[in-house]
A = this chain, B = another copy of it.
């Protein structure tokens, strides 16, 4: 069994980006510039945005954090976005979700210029992705593809079963892995809450991608020997034996499933750490497409 080590892989990717940025600087080129818009003071959002800014610093990107109060109106936020769209110095930007309830999230995401939409959440980018055109692939699916590719997991002609049809993970993974290209050409089955006899389907899978948010959902008796497992779930489960009072669990019963798997992502340290690395990668792509 081989661990698909997201911590190491994301660190490798960040170091590769750092090298590229150093070369850009030496050549006197403009370095990539990522902006993040944070509305309100949600603790988790602050932490995420903070990590993104620090990651920018690490690889040598310029970064701008636009902090807006909870009371920001939709119109004010749309104006901020317009400003970022028009600011030639900024290559890409993200609007940290969730937004306060009085703001229409979809309207906001639609306002981001597709050329700067490094989160890949704009429908135009999503559509381009589905139509095999150049786009920004959302960070989590992009990270999973990179993990599979870098560990040389064969996907061509394999049967991949995706569990969960979310817009952020399940749906794009089902599209990407059945496309031509690296980590593609897989026969993909997308399963969800209405799927009957799920374990009959998962038992046929060469590769399983689980993105449900149900701790330890996937058990050993649901998979075949040699399966490749990508676990996107991350939940806090009460655990008195831990100092902080909880344990972090994925959607896979790791202890038992890992005994049958050929490759498996740990949680934490699997898919999670890849996300920020791929956001940086998209920002670098935005810079390169801008020149």
| Chain A contact residues: helix, strand, loop or mixed | mixed
Checking B123, B165, B187, B195 against A191 with a beta-carbon cut-off of 8 angstroms, the contacting residue is: B187
Q: Which residues of B contact A123 (CB under 8 A)?
A: 123-128, 130-131, 133, 135
Q: A130-B175, A175-B130 are in contact. Are A187 and B201 (CB under 8 A)?
A: yes
What class of interface size applies to chain A in its complex with B? 35 or more
This chain's copy number in the assembly = 2
- The distance in angstroms between the C-alpha atoms of A126 and B159, with both chains bound, is 25
Query: Quick one: which of A135, A165, A201 has the most chain B CB within 10 A?
Result: A165
A222 CB to nearest B CB, Å: 15
A window 146-185: CB within 8 A of B:
156-157, 159, 165, 167, 171, 174-175, 178-179, 185
The answer to whether A178 touches B190 (Cβ under 8 A) is: yes
The residue in chain B whose Cβ has the minimal distance to the Cβ of A196 is: B157
Checking B128, B157, B187 against A190 with a beta-carbon cut-off of 8 angstroms, the contacting residue is: B187
The residue in chain B whose Cβ has the minimal distance to the Cβ of A177 is: B190
